[in-house]
């Protein structure tokens, strides 16, 4: 069975629209990029389209040199009309950690700044990484997470690792196993899991024989095969388990959460200015 994320998407859309209407200002998201590859360019275009739907101002700043990134990020962090800053990834020739550190944590709408990632350890999801948050929100819609065995495939700083911390939070209390390329007998772990989250970026990594019947499989992967976007989970898995589709699953919720974070940042900045 495929998991339909549309009801969650509708709820998030309604909430964002309500907040924007009561805000009284136009929220603004600035995307900063350097030598963007094709997938970054198409991701920025789709962000721009969704921002427009919500009447969120959207600006793409393409840098001419890696050195200019720090000035640009500092300026945006201090600009009262910019509420959210999005830094594309990968950033060739640029130390990503240093760049992230130049963003004001209160405008870090992707939740990648060390401050916001650190707050996750204390259970505070001020700006959680959007993809990890999308997985949590999808799961919370369909299952009681507490006590479930969750296997996450992938340990990146933006998806696998923060997601494991979010699922361990006391009010969720899942038992989490995080896997990577050095994990032995991956299929034994996934076969025993109530929930599998595939975030490896490898098409068809998760096959039907690796999955327990009636379990939940969240497919985070985005891979391009024969000009088509596919996830990390093979199609036949949905014959025995509930699986999120790709496209139209985690990615859809991730983008909505990003827009929601921009509105939240605008709300916080606006309130502070009016104090
Ligand atoms: N839907 C969305 O909104 C969204 C957002 C972000 C990313 N994504 C997609 O999600 C995927 C993961 O993104 P990411 O940024 O987390 O990727 P990443 O930084 O490349 O990390 C991939 C992780 O998967 C692990 N891995 C790769 N092949 C594996 C294998 N055969 N068995 C076990 N583990 C394996 C890697 O292990 P090692 O650490 O050992 O190398 C690594 O930890 C990509 O397809 C990306 O495009 C989707």
Categorize the per-residue pLDDT at 90 as very low, low, confident or very high, splitting at 50, 70 and 90. confident
CATH number at residue 70: 3.40.50.10860
Average pLDDT over residues 189-194: 98
Give the domain range for residue 170: 130-251
Mutate which of 201, 249, 260 for ligand 1 pocket (most atoms within 8 A of beta carbon) = 201
CB 253 less than 6 A from any atom of ligand 1 = no
End-to-end distance of the chain based on CA atoms, in angstroms? 50
Give me the chain's average pLDDT, please: 96
Alpha-carbon distance of 233 to 203, in angstroms, equals 7
pLDDT tens for each residue of 6-28: 999 999 999 999 999 999 899 99
Question: Is residue 122 included in any domain, yes or no?
Answer: no
pLDDT of 272 > 80? The answer is: no
Categorize the per-residue pLDDT at 63 as very low, low, confident or very high, splitting at 50, 70 and 90. very high
Answer yes or no: do 160 and 209 share one domain. Answer: yes
- The protein residue whose alpha carbon is closest to atom 26 in ligand 1 is 200
Instruction: Please name every residue paired with 198 in a beta bridge, in sequence order, or none if there are none.
Output: 153, 219
Alpha-carbon distance of 219 to 131, in angstroms, equals 11
Answer yes or no: do 42 and 146 share one domain. Answer: no
Q: What is the pTM of this model?
A: 0.96
Question: Is residue 114 included in any domain, yes or no?
Answer: no
Answer yes or no: do 136 and 100 share one domain. Answer: no
Nearest to 198 by CA among 186, 214, 188: 186
Number of domains present in the structure of the chain: 2
Answer yes or no: do 140 and 187 share one domain. Answer: yes
Alpha-carbon distance of 47 to 248, in angstroms, equals 14
Question: Is residue 115 included in any domain, yes or no?
Answer: no
Q: Are the beta carbons of 232 and 199 closer than 8 angstroms?
A: yes
Q: What angle do CA 43, 47, 53 make, to 5 degrees?
A: 150
Answer yes or no: do 137 and 103 share one domain. Answer: no
Answer yes or no: do 134 and 215 share one domain. Answer: yes
pLDDT tens for each residue of 114-142: 999 999 999 999 999 999 999 999 999 99
Categorize the per-residue pLDDT at 42 as very low, low, confident or very high, splitting at 50, 70 and 90. confident
pLDDT tens for each residue of 146-189: 999 999 999 999 999 999 999 999 999 999 999 999 999 999 99
Question: Is residue 256 included in any domain, yes or no?
Answer: no
Alpha-carbon distance of 55 to 51, in angstroms, equals 6
Residue 270 Cα to ligand 1 middle (Å): 36
Question: Is residue 124 included in any domain, yes or no?
Answer: no
CB 231 less than 6 A from any atom of ligand 1 = no
């Amino acid at each position: 069975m495929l998991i339909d994320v549309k009801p969650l998407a509708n709820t998030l859309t309604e909430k964002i629209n309500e907040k924007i209407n009561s805000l009284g200002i136009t929220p603004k998201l600035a995307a900063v990029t350097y030598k963007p590859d094709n997938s970054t360019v198409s991701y920025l275009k789709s962000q721009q389209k969704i921002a427009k739907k919500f009447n969120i101002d959207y600006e793409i700043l393409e840098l001419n040199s890696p050195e200019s990134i720090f000035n640009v990020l500092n300026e945006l962090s201090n600009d009262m009309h910019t509420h959210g800053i999005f830094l594309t990834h990968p950033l060739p020739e640029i130390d990503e950690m240093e760049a992230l550190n130049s963003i004001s944590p209160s405008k870090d709408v992707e939740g990648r700044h060390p401050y916001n990632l650190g707050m996750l350890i204390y259970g505070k999801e001020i700006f959680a990484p959007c993809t990890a948050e999308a997985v949590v929100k999808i799961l919370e819609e369909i299952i009681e997470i507490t006590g479930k065995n969750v296997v996450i495939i992938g340990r990146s700083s933006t998806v696998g690792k923060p997601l494991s911390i979010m699922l361990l939070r006391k009010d969720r209390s899942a038992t989490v196993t995080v896997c990577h390329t050095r994990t032995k007998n991956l299929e034994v772990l996934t076969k025993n899991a109530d929930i599998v989250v595939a975030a490896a970026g490898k098409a068809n990594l998760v096959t039907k024989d690796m999955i327990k019947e009636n379990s939940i499989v969240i497919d985070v992967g985005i891979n391009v095969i024969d000009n088509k976007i596919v996830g990390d989970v093979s199609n036949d898995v949905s014959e025995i388990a509930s699986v999120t589709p790709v496209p139209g699953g985690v990615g859809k919720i991730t983008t909505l959460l990003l827009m929601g974070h921009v509105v939240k940042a605008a709300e916080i900045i606006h309130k502070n200015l009016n104090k």
